[in-house]
Amino acid sequence: MPYGVKVLFDDPRVGKLFKDSTTQAILIKPVTVDFFGKEGIQIQRTQIPLMPSWAVTIHKSQGMTVSNVVINLGPKCNKPGQAYVALSRVQSLRGLALTEFTEKSIKVSRKMSFQTVSDLKNLSSSDEKAIITKPIKVKIIVDPVYHHDDNPTTPNVIVMSIVADDSGTIKCHISNEKDIVKKFFQKNTSIVILKCTITTCDEELASIEHQHAIKHLPCSNIQLETKLTLPLLPSFPTIKFTPIAEALKLPRKRQISIEGKITKIEPPIKVKNNSIDLKKVFLKDTTGMMQVSLWKDKASLPLSQGDVISFTGLQTSMFQNKPMASSTTQTQVN
């Protein structure tokens, strides 16, 4: 085992305190480590703490994930997106070291490349489900159909419509917060879908299942052909809301859906030996007011006085001779 190995680093800032004054090299000495093997056998290993290291270009590093990396972001890093590719290879800031950095090395492209509807259809024909990360710029050409999300824990709605660009039309399903969807997803609005899943839903048409975000664009950004063959949209079941005045007259255990404005909310309480949460909400429409008892997980819904909401899947009930409605496992709030 040699006494040590002298290493001359390209960067003069490395190991300033340990450099040889004559050669400017750093002496790396052997390190001995004791550890125990099987059956308690003591093992001693002595080695020089050096390991091979490799360099790659930023282009070559695309797709790599590393724990530690040294990056040069000097003047030669001058292409849009290069700095992003380099910096995103490492898993944490702890494993990142920069040997050189200039602000001009951070560049982005002002030209955004988009997928076309035709591209999506061709892709869906070869794969039943594919995640698309390249943005899609389309125009909504059919009045959207809204439906509440089947997941009662999310305040989302599902919207279905037909979107199009110059290459064709495609069905689009988006599940997102109600306020966001209804603000951006309207007929004759242009949007950019930043991430989605393409699913083959029938022989003629693929479907965009929205996953990430939509961005509003001026309608003039997309010019469409005047003649487009539009597929038919399946209709969601229409929800029939019962006026509160009629709901108060119904017998017990009838399924109802009501809508109105929250006029009062009582603080949640524990009932049945402190095992079940209960929150009482008072809902008012133009015909009357009704107490809605929200049980278990429904009691934690973020409701506020003054909210205009709708309840579906409630059940009529009676307490102290007063008619009211109670939540069930099928209850949803929109």
**Kind plus residue range of the DSSP H or E element containing 200:** strand 196-200
Please, which residues have CB within 8 angstroms of residue 10's CB and are 6 or more apart in sequence?
A: none
Residue 111 is predicted with a pLDDT of 65
Q: Which region among 133-147, 180-194, 233-247 has the lowest average model confidence (pLDDT)?
A: 233-247
* Confidence band, pLDDT 50/70/90 cuts, at residue 217: very low
Residue-wise pLDDT tens digits, 133-178: 677 788 888 777 766 555 555 556 677 778 888 877 777 777 666 6
Domains 131-209 and 244-333 share a fold: yes
H or E segment to which residue 117 belongs:
helix 117-124
* DSSP string computed for 170-226: EEEEEEEEHHHHHHH--TT-EEEE-SEEEEE-SSS-EEEEE-S-EEEE-GGG----S
* pLDDT for 316: 92
Q: Name the class of domain 244-333.
A: mainly beta
* CA-to-CA separations, 242 to 252, 256, 282, 315, in angstroms, rounded: 15, 7, 16, 12
Burial tier of 288 (Cβ tally within 10 Å: 0-12, 13-18, 19+): middle
Residue 189 pLDDT level (bands cut at 50, 70, 90) = confident
What phi, psi does 173 have (nearest 5°)?
A: -115, 130
User: Parallel, antiparallel, or unpaired for β 69-73 and 96-101?
Assistant: parallel
Name the one residue in this structure whose structure tokens are 């040294």: 70
What is the per-residue pLDDT for 105?
Answer: 87
Residue that wins the pLDDT comparison between 173 and 87: 87
Mean pLDDT of all residues in 201-218: 43
Q: Is the pLDDT of residue 125 over 60?
A: no
Angle at 303 between CA 298 and CA 305, to 5 degrees: 140
Tokens at residue 251, please? 């017998």
| Average pLDDT value for the chain | 76
Cα Dmax for the chain: 99
| Interval 254-266: pLDDT, tens | 888 888 889 999 9
Q: Is the pLDDT of residue 228 over 60?
A: no
Q: What is the rounded CA–CA span in Å between residue 28 and residue 1?
A: 12
Domain boundary assignment for the chain: 5-47, 61-110, 131-209, 244-333
On whether the CB atoms of residues 125 and 148 are closer than 8 A, the answer is no
What is the structure's pLDDT at 46?
A: 92
Instruction: Classify residue 226 as exposed, middle or buried by CB count within 10 Å of its CB (0-12, 13-18, 19+).
Output: exposed
For the cut 50, the answer to whether the pLDDT of residue 216 exceeds it is no
Label residue 275 left, alpha or beta by phi (over 0 means left) and psi (-120 to 50 means alpha): alpha
- CATH placement of domain 131-209: 2.40.50
- For position 274, what pLDDT does the model report? 74
| Residue from 139, 145, 130, 191 nearest 170 by CA | 139
Instruction: Output the pLDDT for position 292.
Output: 92
